[in-house]
Structure 1
Amino acid sequence: MHAPNAMPQPATMIIQSVAAAALAAAAFLAAAQTAPEMAAQPAGGPVKGASYVVDPTHTFVMYEMGHYGTTTNRGRFSTKDGTIKIDGTGKSGKIDITMDISSINTGVDLLNRHVLSKDFFNVAEFPVARFVADKIDFSGDKVTEVDGSLTLMGQTKPVKLKASRFGCYLSPLIKRQVCGGDFETTVERSNWGINWGIPFGFEDRVRLLVQVEAVNITGGPS
């Protein structure tokens, strides 16, 4: 047993974070059908030293890949879980988000099956991807850029995400501060060993569009 003022052990902290994430997601889902007709209130920027859990109902990764010099193929992944920790200065932090590759949705069943196969993501062997960062850049109280690495198909490569928008608000649904934004980058899929179609018209360069919202689980402005 812990002493009354003892710091939680790592395992306990992980369990608490997972539980908080699940509760936040459940609250959003439950409220989606009966969202109050009221504006969210501004809530400053990310709180110094605070921990945030990613809301999977508002966090997705979209990709865009051109083919044959004409239209753009698009798909979307869901996230499984994630945590964001802002450091004590409020000017950097750490991010750890896991994506569910098996959740991909291109809008076309046949294409879904193809991109899940060994030709592309080989989901049978690599069902998840992971983005980890230990550097978050701020301008004032807004995140502008995140330097991290993406592990996909067993390969880990550096990825830099740039914010196109960012903000925090007090959620009228769960009465907690929520921070998030839209981020993007362009990568070459061959860096992760995804080479199918490159020689005959499916582009190597892929644009990634990331939307993220995370719930403050350690208090903050209201």
Structure 2
Amino acid sequence: MRISMIALAAAAALSAGLAQAETATYGIDPTHTFATFEISHFGAAVNRGRFDKKEGSVQLDKAAKTGKVEITFDATSINSGTAAFDKHLQSADLFNAPQFPTFKFVGDKFTFDGDKVTSVAGNLTLLGKTAPLTLTAKQFNCYQSPMLKREVCGGDFEATIDRTQWGMNYGIDWGFPKNVHLVVQVEAVKQ
């Protein structure tokens, strides 16, 4: 009986080690990763912008269906296509880039449907405040890159957030909406 308990414990330890060994690390590909936002402008048009500088990594264990993602975006790299609007977006009215030059998403609750990631839940830290955020995958895939000769995983993720959760209240009194649509396009290369 004692020998079979020892064998069972050894098998459990070996299995735990194998599951850990399946976790792969992927580096964010900055040429295929962007966070964009869309917010209505008095119901007449939609203001859009994106953040051009970002860095981060993804840890993914496909067998255990677990993972962790950390992506930091540079608020000073906001790009709406209009320099004057970019300057206002970076001001204390909105992203306050002089005081908070970056914002970060950390997600560690991955939901899968088969081999496909369907959502990632975690926290968004913006303007010095942290609040929950769940990004829903509109598509997700892993593939062997013919150019990089390595595996690449990525997808398009979306969420609609209430910007006032992070203290971004500019324009609310004038009728600007508090809801902002986020689209995060991400690809990461296996290291």
The TM-score by the shorter chain falls in which range? 0.7 to 0.9
In structure 2, the residue corresponding to 1:111 is in which secondary structure?
Answer: helix
How does 1:31-180 map onto structure 2 within 5 Å?
A: 48-87=22-61, 89-180=63-154
Q: Where does residue 200 of structure 1 map in the other structure?
A: 174
**Retained in 2: the 8 A contact 1:59–1:79?**
no
Q: Where does residue 183 of structure 2 map in the other structure?
A: 209
**Retained in 2: the 8 A contact 1:69–1:201?**
no
What letter matches 1:114 in structure 2? H
- The structural deviation recorded for 1:79 is 4.1
What letter matches 1:137 in structure 2? T
| CA distance in structure 2 between the aligned counterparts of 1:64 and 1:120, rounded to whole angstroms | 14
- The structural deviation recorded for 1:214 is 0.4
TM-score by length of 2: 0.86
Distance change in 2, residues 1:88/1:143 (3 Å): closer
- The structural deviation recorded for 1:81 is 1.2
Gaps of 5+ in 2: 1-20
| CA distance in structure 1 between the aligned counterparts of 2:165 and 2:144, rounded to whole angstroms | 40
Which structure has the larger Rg over C-alpha atoms?
2
Higher mean alpha-carbon deviation, 99-108 vs 86-95, is at 86-95
- The structural deviation recorded for 1:88 is 7.2
Percent identity of the aligned residues? 51
Gaps of 5+ in 1: 1-46, 218-222
Distance change in 2, residues 1:163/1:51 (3 Å): same
| CA distance in structure 1 between the aligned counterparts of 2:69 and 2:22, rounded to whole angstroms | 15
**Retained in 1: the 8 A contact 2:52–2:79?**
no
Higher mean alpha-carbon deviation, 115-124 vs 195-204, is at 195-204
Distance change in 2, residues 1:170/1:160 (3 Å): same
- The structural deviation recorded for 1:209 is 0.4
- The structural deviation recorded for 1:56 is 0.8
Measured against aligned partners, the alpha-carbon deviations of 1:128-174 in whole angstroms (never above 9, x if no partner) come to 00100111111111110000100000000000000001111111111
| CA distance in structure 2 between the aligned counterparts of 1:173 and 1:52, rounded to whole angstroms | 16
What letter matches 1:186 in structure 2? T
C-alpha RMSD of the superposition: 1.4
Measured against aligned partners, the alpha-carbon deviations of 1:15-68 in whole angstroms (never above 9, x if no partner) come to xxxxxxxxxxxxxxxxxxxxxxxxxxxxxxxx9411111111110000000021
| CA distance in structure 2 between the aligned counterparts of 1:183 and 1:136, rounded to whole angstroms | 12
| CA distance in structure 1 between the aligned counterparts of 2:144 and 2:32, rounded to whole angstroms | 15
Write 1 or 2 for the structure with the bigger share of strand. 2
In structure 2, the residue corresponding to 1:173 is in which secondary structure?
Answer: coil
